[in-house]
Amino acid sequence: MIKSTVILSLAAVLLIIINAKTTGRHMEGIRIGLKQMIGLIPMLLSAFVLAGMLEAVIPEGFVNQWLAREAGLKGILLGTVAGMFSAVGPYAFFPIAASIRASGAGLGTVVSLVVGWCLLGLSRLPYEAGLLGMKFSLMRMAVSMPICIIAGMAAHAVELLIM
């Protein structure tokens, strides 16, 4: 967590400098970010409670059999489907994904969960189908489904080989 904070802090400082030199609106950027964060506090707190409860309640046997590195393709498929049905925004999704990772899920499962949520998330379907048509949405999702599984398998291989 310290590593992430350091990287993000460096990115924030860099962006503030770039914004100050190019647009001169760096203070506005800080205000926009903080305002967004304050508005999301109730959502974030609910997500943390939900994630904590999930981490406590998910049985170790279930994790080992279905989500851990040893689960292999089963975990990847489950991750993809879970990502698809995680009809929430990033502020709620990532604490939940982190709790699943912390409970012992493998890298393949977590990556397929994140990619499944990115590409197949059903919460975006009404916007896409409404504005671009159901045919476009179904085609995009049909192409995206194997991508989630391939991404999960690639991450699983990375975990086996490197991590």
Partner 1 sequence: MKGAFAGIASAAIVLIPAVYIIGGTGLLLEGLHISKNSAMAAAPMLLVSFIVIGQLRVLISKEMLNKWLQNNKGIKGILVSALTGGLFPGGPYVYYPFIASFVEKEVPFSIFAAFIVGKQVYDFARIPMEMSFLGPGVTLVRNIITLPVPIIIGFLAKNINPEKLGGAFFTKKGGKL
CB atoms within 10 A of CB 27: 11
Under the criterion CB under 8 A, does residue 49 sit at the interface with partner 1? yes
**Interface with partner 1 includes 69 (CB under 8 A)?**
no
Name which of residues 70 to 109 contact partner 1 (CB under 8 A): 87-92, 94-95, 97-99, 101, 107
Could you give the residue ranges of the DSSP H alpha helices within the chain?
2-22, 26-57, 60-62, 73-85, 90-102, 107-120, 125-132, 134-161
**Alpha-carbon gap, residue 163 to 160, rounded angstroms:** 6
- Give yes or no for residue 146 binding partner 1 (CB under 8 A): no
Instruction: Tell me how far, at minimum, the Cβ of 86 lies from partner 1, in Å.
Output: 10
Distance CA 104, CA 93 (A): 17
Give the nearer residue to partner 1 in terms of CB position, either 66 or 159.
159
| Smallest gap from residue 7 Cβ to partner 1 (A) | 6
- Footprint on residues 21-40 left by partner 1 (CB under 8 A): 22-23, 25-26, 28-34, 36-37, 39
Q: Which of 70, 122, 136, 146 binds partner 1 (CB under 8 A)?
A: 136
Does position 119 interact with partner 1 (CB under 8 A)? The reply is yes
Q: Beta-carbon neighbour count of residue 138 at 10 Å? A: 13
Residue labelled with tokens 């046997």: 61
Q: Using CA atoms, how far apart are residues 18 and 15, in angstroms rounded to an integer? A: 5
Considering the rule CB under 8 A, would residue 42 count as an interface residue with partner 1? yes
CA distance 101 to 110: 6
Give the C-alpha separation, 76 to 52, whole Å. 22
Q: Give me the least distance between CB of 120 and partner 1, in Å please.
A: 9
Task: Quote the least distance from Cβ 74 to partner 1, whole Å.
Answer: 19
Tell me if 18 contacts partner 1 by CB under 8 A: yes
